Homo-oligomer: A and B are copies of this chain.
Amino acid sequence: MRMKKKPAYTVAVVGATGAVGTEMIDVLEERTFPVGTLIPLASSRSAGGTVTFRGEAIPVQVLSKDSFSGVDIALFSAGADISREFAPIAAKAGAVVIDNSAAWRMESDVPLVVPEVNEHDIANHKGIIANPNCSTIQMVVALKPLHDRARIRRIVVTTFQSVSGTGKEAMDELMTETQDLLSFKEATPKVYPYQIAFNCLPQIDDFLPSGYTKEEMKMLNETRKIMGDRSIQVTATTVRVPVYVGHSEAVNIETEQKLTANEARAILSEAPGVRVFDDPAHKVYPMPLDVAGKDEVYVGRVREDESIANGLNLWVVADNLRKGAALNAIQIAGCLVKG
């Protein structure tokens, strides 16, 4: 279901003052999305503030069930609880919801979309479209073109995820802990269960009885749904590292058809949303520091895995706030309105 063509749309941003919400508003402006009216919404905690859009300070409104009257597109990034409660209200009011939380992703009547991979699924929405998890988005952008050519059977992925994936308060925590430690004070973690500065935390999201975290299971379940292939096997280890912005992933794949590293690089260099950044002889490989603020998914360190017949290793890095969240959501909105 596409949207009725209009010269401009009323766009609500739920969680407008958060790390992703702020980025969403920036991306709407940068990409000159046809916004007629922007309605920044947040909890009462953030009321009284403003957000800046096209040079204008727009007051943040308190989210309520009456917030969505006349809204065409509602971008949600305020956590799963808020999405569960308010996305159906927004949809009922006539908005198309693009939800960045995990609340609706696995519902069968909610498309889970990465435009480079499965734009066609958008047509099936019933008022809510889900934006996938950040670590899944960048992986499927890099893997879909290889899957189309050689069919991926199995993925073993290990992530190095930045604190901005948790939100603004986690970015502040990394900063504060680092300052404290450099001043010979103790770090006092509040957002994370343990110190994140100068440490690695092998836990993202809650644990399930299987010993996997929810984040790790998202990488399996969401990848299958987005790729439209339930036969793909995925096993993941997701780890938080002391990086502000940019998620990195060591991705090992086994394919049905043989792909050489050169073939994989050639396929990826033609792929939408991908940049191949791979010249080891000149120390060219993607790093989170370099991709922060970039739209593309960067792939480097492409090499054949000699431990199996048809194996490849890749190093995949993207800005988790942009392609991993805000940009992907705005791209979905762009597909909706292009008519």
Contacts and interface: CB of A to CB of B under 8 A. Distances in A.
Interface of A: 154-156, 158, 160, 174-175, 178-179, 182, 193-195, 198-203, 207, 210-212, 233-235, 237, 239, 241-244, 248, 250, 252, 261, 280-281, 283, 285-289, 300-308, 311, 313, 315
B233 A202 contact: no
B242 A303 contact: no
8 contacts: A158-B237, A202-B285, A202-B315, A203-B280, A210-B303, A212-B303, A235-B305, A250-B250
B160 A207 contact: no
Contact of A241 (B241, B286, B301, B303): B241
Copies of this protein, total: 2
A243 B181 CA distance: 13
A286 B305 CA distance: 28
Contacts of A199: 243, 287-289
Nearest to A175: B182
A158 B250 contact: yes
A156 B300 CA distance: 18
B283 A252 contact: no
Nearest to A285: B202
B156 A241 contact: no
Contact of A198 (B244, B281, B283, B302): B244
Contact of A237 (B200, B237, B301, B311): B301
A315 B198 CA distance: 18
Contacts of A315: 202, 237
B156 A252 contact: yes
Given A198-B289, A207-B281, A242-B243, 8 more contacts: A175-B182, A199-B289, A200-B243, A203-B280, A211-B280, A237-B250, A237-B301, A237-B313
Contacts of A207: 280-281
Given A160-B160, A200-B243, A233 B308 contact: yes
Nearest to A155: B307
A126 to B, nearest CB: 31
Contacts of A305: 235
Given A211-B301, A250-B158, A235 B311 contact: yes
